[in-house]
Amino acid sequence: MEPVTESAPVRPEDIAALRRFNRYFTRRIGALDDHYLGQDRPLGEARLLFEIGDGASLRELRARLALDAGYLSRMAKALEAQGLVRLTVPPHDTRLRLIELTAAGRAEVEEQHRRADALATGLLTTLTAPQRTELTHALATTQRLLRLAAITVAPVDGAAEDARACLDAYAADIDARFPEGFDKTDLVRPEEVTGEAGAFFVAYEEGRPVACGALRTLEPGVGEIRHVWVHPDARRLGLARRILTELELAAAAHDFAVVRLDTHATLTEAQAMYRACGYTEIPAYVDHVYASHWFEKRLAGAR
C-alpha cells in the first residue's frame, strides 16, 4: 500500500516563497549562527558538544547526528583530551560508552548559548516591541506548518511495532486522563484494521511515530474511526485532522457509506474538530465507559 492522500497541485508562488525564504534564511541567519557558535572549535565538535546535553551514549549520538562510528569515536576522544567531556562505561552493557559534559564542557556549552542569545538579541533590538511580537507569531506559524509538512502519514499493519507503540501511548494517555481509566482489551485488534476489515495509519516525524488512527468495520457498510491519537510534542499542528482525512479516504476505499466515532465529554477541541470536518452528533451506537458523544459522517466518495 502507498499513501492515499490526494492533493491539489502545488502553486508555483508557494514554491517560490519557500525557496526565497530558504535562501535568505540560510545565507543570512544560519551561516551567522554556525560561525559564531563554533568560534575556535571545529563545527563538528561544537555540534557534538551541544548535543550531549545531560549525557548520552555514543550510540545515541551516532544515530541522532548520523555520524560515522569512527569519526564520532575520534571526536569524543578529542573532546575528552580537551577536558570537556568524560567517557564512562555503563555497567549494564560494557560495550557502550556514555559521554557527559565536565564542568568545563558545561561552561563551554553555556558560552555557546550565551553567544546564540546575544546574536538573537542583537537582531531583535532594532525591532519595535509590536514587530517582535509579530515576528514571534510568524516564526511559530512557519515552524508549525513546516513541521506538519515534514510529517508523513503511512498505512501500517496493526500489529507492527510502531502501531503498538502508538496504541500503548494512546491507552496510557486515556488511562491517565480519565477517572474511568482505560481497559487495554478495548483497543482494536490487529486483524480488525487490516485488509478488507479496516486500516491503520501512523504519522512519522523524522522517523518517529507521532500520531495514529484506526478504522475498523462496525457493521456492513459502516466504518468506525478509533484511537485517533497525537503525541504530546506534536499537538496543535493540525495532525489529527490529517489522520482523520486519511482514515476517511481509506473508509471510502473500503466502500463504507458512513463512518462513526465516539469521544469523551471533556475533549471539547476534538469535538469541535469533528464538527468542523463534517461530522454530526448522533445517539450512542455503542457503549464505552469513557465515551459520551457519538458522531457520524456520510462519505461522498464511496465507490
What is the radius of gyration, based on Cα positions, of the chain?
A: 24
- Closest Cα to residue 247, out of 273, 274, 213, 298? 213
Cell numbers for 215, please give them: 478504522
Pairing verdict, β 152-155 and 85-88: unpaired
Q: What is the pairing mode between strands 98-101 and 56-57? A: antiparallel
Number of residues forming the site for a copy of itself (CB under 8 A): 57
Does residue 56 interact with a copy of itself by CB under 8 A?
A: no
Span 26-45, contacts to a copy of itself by CB under 8 A: 26, 28-30, 33-34
Stretch that binds DNA, among 40-48, 127-135, 232-240, 254-262 (CB under 7 A): 40-48
Pick from 63, 135, 159, 286 the residue near a copy of itself by CB under 8 A. Answer: 135
Q: How many CB atoms lie within 10 A of CB 63?
A: 11
Longest dimension (CA), the chain: 69
Q: How far apart are CB 223 and a copy of itself at their closest, in Å?
A: 22
Nearer to a copy of itself, 226 or 242 (CB): 242
DSSP one-letter string for 239-279: HHHHHHHHHHHHHHHTT-SEEEEEE-TT-HHHHHHHHHTT-
For residue 194, state whether it binds DNA (rule: CB under 7 A): no
Site of grid cell 506534536? 234
Question: Torsions phi, psi of 9, nearest 5?
Answer: -60, 145
Answer left, alpha or beta for residue 66, where phi above 0 means left and psi between -120 and 50 means alpha.
Answer: left
Considering the complex, state which of residue 190 and residue 238 has its C-beta at the smaller distance from a copy of itself: 238
Q: Does residue 63 interact with a copy of itself by CB under 8 A?
A: no
- Which of the ranges 4-12, 88-96, 99-107, 272-280 carries the binding residues for a copy of itself, by CB under 8 A? 4-12
**Closest distance of CB 87 from DNA, Å:** 6
Binding track, positions 140-179, relative to a copy of itself; x by CB under 8 A:
xxxx-xxxxxxxxx--------------------------
Which of 71-79, 187-195, 248-256, 268-276 is the region at the interface with DNA (rule: CB under 7 A)?
A: 71-79
For residues 204 and 151, what is the distance between their CA atoms, to the nearest angstrom?
Answer: 5
User: Does 69 engage in binding with DNA (CB under 7 A)?
Assistant: yes
Pattern 79-118, DNA, x by CB under 7 A: --------x----xxxxxx---------------------
Residue 11 or 303: the one with the smaller Cβ distance to a copy of itself is 11
Q: Which does 136 bind (CB under 5 to 8 A by kind): a copy of itself, DNA, none?
A: a copy of itself
Phi first, then psi, for residue 43 (nearest 5°) are -60, -40
CA distance 127 to 119: 14
Q: CA 137, 138, 139, 145: dihedral to nearest 10 degrees?
A: 110
Distance CA 29, CA 32 (A): 5
Applying CB under 7 A, does 32 fall inside the site for DNA?
no
Where does this chain bind DNA (CB under 7 A)?
A: 42-45, 57-59, 62, 67-71, 73-74, 76-77, 87, 92-97
